[in-house]
Amino acid sequence: MYKKSVMVVIGIFVLFSLVGLASMANSAKERGKANRSGKIAIIHVEGVILGGRGQSTVLFEQGGTDQVIKQIHEARDDKDVQAVVLRINSPGGSAAASQEVGEELKKLRAQGKVVVTSMGDVAASGGYWLAACTDKIYANPTTMTGSIGVYMPYANWEELYKKVGIYQEKIKSGPHKDIMSPERQMTQEEREIIQTMVNDIYNQFVDVVAEGRKMDKDQVRKLADGRIYTGNQGKQLGLVDELGNMYDAIDGAAQLAGIVGKPEIKELGKQTPWQMLFGPSEKISTLLEQFLFQKAQNQLSFGIPLEASPEKWQVK
Using CA atoms, how far residue 203 sits from 48, 91, 147, 152, 207, in Å, is 22, 20, 14, 15, 6
Distance between CA atoms of residues 311 and 306, nearest Å: 8
What is the number of other CB atoms lying within 10 angstroms of the CB of residue 26?
10
Q: What is the pLDDT along the chain (316 residues), one digit of tens a residue?
A: 566 666 666 666 666 666 555 555 454 444 444 444 589 999 999 999 998 876 555 555 555 899 999 999 999 999 999 999 999 999 999 999 999 999 999 999 999 999 999 999 999 999 999 999 999 999 999 999 999 999 888 899 999 999 999 988 889 999 999 999 999 999 999 999 999 999 999 999 999 999 999 999 999 999 999 999 999 999 999 999 999 999 999 999 999 999 998 999 999 986 655 555 555 444 444 555 555 555 554 444 444 444 333 343 333 3
Is 177 noted as a catalytic residue in this protein?
Answer: yes
Active-site residue, selected from the candidate residues 29, 33, 162, 177: 177
Active-site residue, selected from the candidate residues 125, 136, 283, 295: 125
Is 283 noted as a catalytic residue in this protein?
Answer: no
User: pLDDT per residue over 25-48, tens digit each?
Assistant: 454 444 444 444 589 999 999 999
Distance between CA atoms of residues 284 and 122, nearest Å: 9
Q: 194: burial class by Cβ within 10 Å (0-12, 13-18, 19+)?
A: middle
Q: 4: burial class by Cβ within 10 Å (0-12, 13-18, 19+)?
A: exposed
**Mean pLDDT for the chain overall:** 82
